[in-house]
Structure 1
Amino acid sequence: MATKRQRQSIVSALIALLETRDWQDIGLDDIAAEAGVSLAVLRSVFDTKVAILEAFVRDIDETVLAGDDGDMGDEPPRERLFDVLMRRLDTLKPYRPALRSLAASARRDPVLAASLNRMALVSQGWMLTSAGIHIKGLLGAAATQGLVVAFARVLRVFLREEDAGLPRTMAALDKELRRGERSFLRLERVSRPIRRGVRRRWERPASAQADPEDPAGAASSPA
């Protein structure tokens, strides 16, 4: 069984290798050698290379969430989310060479791209929660996926920017969040009558529902 230190060494080894190699050229044996552990130790913690990457993403999530100072309650939702995502970008700063390599590999590898999208959906769900934004159901799923796409656009700017203050990245994030807010409000307006109709359909009082033995009523009941 691997120790916590060995687990961190494995995650760090993958990120270090990504700085000089493509994702497709890194094997589990390479990661074990870089981390200074045996394959048996690596296998006791991680099933796949993707699982190691997921651990890295989870560590980033935890760092961002731990930095929540709880002083954003009076800010509008978009400003709260901006603060959370800038904290995420600040946390990612040391890993930009590896992230550039990973992004280039994902453009050539649809399986990797799909895995990254799945990880991003989980992470951005936590970022929304940290910002105090709670959206349920299909609307919430759409909002989270929209945020994943928006943040991916911001990352492209972030990975190229050389200014330590990240002015271009901040401008891109502000632009994407404003655009996302407008898109969400439009989607919410469109979906509102649909959701009201569904509630009326399934929340009718029992007296208003058709008798199951009444042929006319059966013909008009929802499938």
Structure 2
Amino acid sequence: MAKRSSSGKKSTIRDRVIESTLSLIAEKGFRATSVKDVIKACGVTEAEFYHEFDGLLSVLVAASRHLNAAMMDAIADFEEDDSTRERLFALVMARFDAATPWRAAIRELARSAPTNPVLAATAGQALMTMSARALRLAGVRVSGPFGFARVNGFMLTVVLPTARIWLQDESADLSKTMAALNESLDRAERLMDYSRPFCGPFGGSAPSAESVPPAPSDTTNGSGKSPTLSQ
């Protein structure tokens, strides 16, 4: 009984820290936000914070993993005859929908990243992990000699261009984001048609949630902590 109670407490602390961190970043910006600010805002002790995270960057990695989980939920709505493109559209939009409450913070992070190499590297790794997860859930092979090319190409031609529109899209239904995603998927399809002889097909059937192997490891270990991302 005590063990289960402890797990619930940890989950609550992690959620509170993530929410407080992103709220403060949205309000003050990344550079002006400190671990002490987060500890004060969410009402945890310093020991509790550092038991779960190494610093602000590891909190952001945990937040990204939370958003990736929204894509796992989206595959429940897949139909057997859905195309790869339809699956990718649903997966990426599910992540943007889940991220909408944190958009102001993500906008601030995007502004800070060009002048903060460690933040930029952390964000880049998170986007690569997200891209690999989306492709894998849609049935696209991301292993093998051309796996990295597929993941990197998807991130550069689909995820990043759509994210730039999403950051400014204040419409209730994210219609501008959906239009941008459709356009980006068109571009990706044309690119894959051109590079098919070199990188292989950009398709496949959707796997079940149980059959999906874990995404490429990010900068955290199993507890969500990272020994190199303290701040």
> Which residue does 1:215 correspond to in 2?
none
Deviations 1:33-76 (A, max 9, x none): 11111111111111121111111011111122123224333122
Q: Could you state the TM-score of these two structures normalised by the residue count of structure 1?
A: 0.80
Q: 2:167 is matched with which residue: 159, 182, 192?
A: 159
Q: Which residues of structure 1 form unaligned runs of 5+? A: 193-223
Q: Output the amino acid matched with 1:178.
A: D
Q: Structure 1 residue 177 and structure 2 residue 185: aligned?
A: yes
Q: Output the amino acid matched with 2:187.
A: R
Q: Matched residues in 2 for 1:40 and 1:163: separation?
A: 41
> Which residue does 1:95 correspond to in 2?
102
Equivalenced residues, count: 192
Q: 2:55 is matched with which residue: 48, 53, 63?
A: 48
Q: Which residues of structure 2 form unaligned runs of 5+? A: 1-5, 201-231
1:29-40 alignment runs, 5 A limit: 29-40=36-47
Alpha carbon RMSD of aligned pairs, Å? 1.7
What SS does the aligned partner of 2:101 have? Answer: helix
Higher relative contact order (CA 8 A, sep 6+): 2
Kindly indicate whether the alpha-carbon contact (under 8 Å) linking 1:68 and 1:130 is maintained by their aligned counterparts in 2: yes
User: Share of identical aligned residues, percent?
Assistant: 28
Q: Matched residues in 2 for 1:136 and 1:8: separation?
A: 32
Q: Matched residues in 2 for 1:86 and 1:76: separation?
A: 16
Q: What is the CA distance between 1:12 and its match in structure 2?
A: 0.9
1:193-208 alignment runs, 5 A limit: none
Q: 2:10 is matched with which residue: 3, 15, 36?
A: 3
1:66-77 alignment runs, 5 A limit: 66-77=73-84
Q: Structure 1 residue 146 and structure 2 residue 153: aligned?
A: yes
From the superposition, tell whether residues 136 and 188 of structure 1 become closer, same or farther in structure 2 (CA, over 3 Å): farther
What SS does the aligned partner of 1:19 have? Answer: helix
Kindly indicate whether the alpha-carbon contact (under 8 Å) linking 1:121 and 1:145 is maintained by their aligned counterparts in 2: yes
1:126-145 alignment runs, 5 A limit: 126-145=133-152
Q: Could you state the TM-score of these two structures normalised by the residue count of structure 2?
A: 0.77
Bigger Cα Rg = 1
- Pick which of 179-188 and 14-23 moved more: 179-188
**Higher share of residues assigned helix:** 1
Q: Matched residues in 2 for 1:73 and 1:102: separation?
A: 38
Q: What is the CA distance between 1:128 and its match in structure 2?
A: 1.3
Kindly indicate whether the alpha-carbon contact (under 8 Å) linking 2:70 and 2:94 is maintained by their aligned counterparts in 1: no
Q: Output the amino acid matched with 2:76.
A: D
